Amino acid sequence: MKHKIASLTATLKTTAAFGVKYAADFPATSTGGQQFALVSAAVPQTATLGAAQVSGGESAHAGALSKVAGRFHLHNDLHGIADAAHSLVLMGTAGLQGKFLMPRSGGDQSPLNTARAFQTDAAAFSTQFISLGLPATFITQLGTDITDFEAAIKAKGAGTGTRSGATGGLEDTANKAAIALHVLKTIVPNTYKNDPAKLAEWATASHVEKHTPVARPATLAKKAAQAAAKNNPAPAAATTN
């Protein structure tokens, strides 16, 4: 869980920096500008939390951010599986009706219940899911993220007795930032759909590592450039007679 907190915190910082760099493209009153503002507001709070963790204190705050990070990663798991399931339905795969639907309500229990259902139902379709690009360990990873999220909920609850207000404020800010990051992953690619360089930069800035960090910026940039080139093919060269 410590790595998940660190990876989410690092991504909030790089996302905020991207928003500052290209602020002219996302005015403060626009939806994009508002989402970047939410991300930027969370950065100093998470930095303060990091310092507190080093000193060995503020367990309630640590639990709050652990919970946000856990929810973020669990949501990413569910979203990836749901998207793959939708593709399988479009390809004519039987037996998927009513399965792998994203949770519609908030709270902690709804995503947990959904995740457990995904974990159970995915076993019968694991080969098809993997054929669409999900990692071979996606079910195991989902189980790990379920366990981590449950542990974070308990940890946060154990420490809220003495610092409930501050902990709640931190969790609310961090959760809003995580949601804003999801929204920006729609807005920014749409804004820069004709700009491969900025798409590549955004892919790197907004990426959240799920496992052991590896050097991936070049790979992410390459994928973003390839996607942009696919959506915007170069015009055919003119011929002369």
> What are the Cα distances from residue 217, in Å, to 51, 204, 224?
27, 6, 10
Looking at the domain assignment, is residue 71 inside a domain?
yes
- Start-to-end CA span in the chain (Å): 66
Looking at the domain assignment, is residue 211 inside a domain?
yes
Looking at the domain assignment, is residue 237 inside a domain?
no
Looking at the domain assignment, is residue 240 inside a domain?
no
Helices (H) and strands (E) in the chain, counts: 8, 0
The total of structural domains in the chain comes to 1
pLDDT (0 to 100) of residue 101? 94
Looking at the domain assignment, is residue 236 inside a domain?
no
Looking at the domain assignment, is residue 121 inside a domain?
yes
pLDDT (0 to 100) of residue 222? 55
Give the closest residue to 216 by CA, choosing from 35, 11, 22.
Answer: 11
What is the domain extent for residue 130?
A: 2-231
pLDDT (0 to 100) of residue 53? 43
Looking at the domain assignment, is residue 241 inside a domain?
no
Looking at the domain assignment, is residue 27 inside a domain?
yes
pTM for the model stands at 0.55
Query: What does pLDDT average to in each consecutive run of 10 residues of the chain (241 residues)?
Result: 71 93 96 94 70 46 74 90 94 92 84 95 96 94 93 69 49 82 93 93 86 46 58 51 45
